[in-house]
Structure 1
């Protein structure tokens, strides 16, 4: 069973539908006991960092997500959900994140268009089980802030938007994707499928 964490700010149903298409049983939940029973968990997110952390805290899910990560089972943050994995963000003031990975979320700075929106090519920086059987391809981004990881080795893939931009991160059982894999065609679905494979076998063939 895969848990999609519901704290009121995420593309819950599109993520749930994508997981189901890949053959996995999935539940959308805000209950810690249900989360802790899951074989893998996904933290989605759309909106502002500070608001998301406030909603997670109000529901008691900030500590629940930390306990889940400490259990060693696979955890994936998507879009804002990836940013929440890090130490802090400067979006609308300084806000502390979950602190599962060191690093800071900062705003794009330059004369180019913000938000960064559209299809951009990934560049893999290291071997990762997320990249099994996959060639570098294009995925779909929508974001005005990006992550500066505190550890170079946590940076698994970048894209280019007038500068190298963090696209995929990972350390141990904790992963993050800045883009929306569920909206990124075959490349995104294969990346999501490779994450789910870390959680166990699908309940049905696809």
Structure 2
């Protein structure tokens, strides 16, 4: 049976994600055990709260090493919400910058809008050739966030030891005066700013699209 681990580092809506993945037919575990997280067919990195707190919590339990080891071995990783944000080069909150994992080039900053957080259902401008968004390009997804990345540049995967010639695909969302990264795909790395586990049928389809890359 195809397996997935939701990485447990103290942050994220883990129960909702576990239920969503189980509904897609996966054998799902919640753990911070490195071997189990590495060996699972798919790994989900959730996240809620502040960028600095999440990346610190991830590093405290060695989750950053697990993510890198998986990507270097071509094993799929999906970051969600702040679990997506911490994959970027840095996050800037309250005037302070915190270094992220650097798997995606760019900075996570406060959304420029009259009403923050951006909360509720919104459409996504799907990247051409997107695997995650296949068949759901015109659907709406559920967002809850105050910060987002306004750019996404391909990181130097070769320097990180990740074997991928994929230049990456970026899907976007517009809110207020911001146009921000809604989803990112590059080789075994996938990420969404929105919550697929809370996005009803469209979210389930996205998860199934992701699962199709390894099941």
Fold shared, TM-score > 0.5 on shorter chain: yes
State whether residues 66 and 98 of structure 1, in contact with CA within 8 Å, keep that contact through their aligned partners in structure 2: no
Are 1:107 and 2:121 matched, yes or no?
Answer: no
Corresponding residue for residue 49 of structure 1: 51
CA distance in 2, matches of 1:67, 1:30: 14
Paired residue secondary structure (1:9): coil
Instruction: Write out the 4+ residue segments of structure 1 that deviate beyond 3 Å after TM superposition.
Output: 152-155
Paired residue secondary structure (1:199): coil
Give 1:198 deviation, angstroms.
1.1
Corresponding residue for residue 42 of structure 2: 40
Q: Which moved more, 1:119-128 or 1:11-20?
A: 119-128
CA distance in 1, matches of 2:109, 2:169: 16
CA distance in 2, matches of 1:84, 1:69: 15
CA distance in 2, matches of 1:56, 1:134: 31
Q: 1:118 aligns with which of 117, 120, 129?
A: 120
CA distance in 2, matches of 1:192, 1:150: 22
CA distance in 1, matches of 2:197, 2:34: 24
Paired residue secondary structure (1:198): coil
State whether residues 5 and 42 of structure 1, in contact with CA within 8 Å, keep that contact through their aligned partners in structure 2: yes
Corresponding residue for residue 26 of structure 1: 28
CA distance in 2, matches of 1:150, 1:124: 14
Q: 2:180 aligns with which of 141, 161, 165?
A: 165
State the aligned residue count.
199
Q: TM-score, structure 2 length as denominator?
A: 0.88
CA distance in 2, matches of 1:155, 1:127: 8
Corresponding residue for residue 203 of structure 1: none
CA distance in 2, matches of 1:109, 1:132: 29
Counting helix residues as a fraction of each chain, which structure ranks higher? 1
RMSD: 1.5
State whether residues 130 and 194 of structure 1, in contact with CA within 8 Å, keep that contact through their aligned partners in structure 2: yes
CA distance in 1, matches of 2:105, 2:208: 26
Q: 2:99 aligns with which of 96, 101, 104?
A: 96
CA distance in 2, matches of 1:195, 1:89: 26
Give 1:154 deviation, angstroms.
3.7
Corresponding residue for residue 78 of structure 2: 76
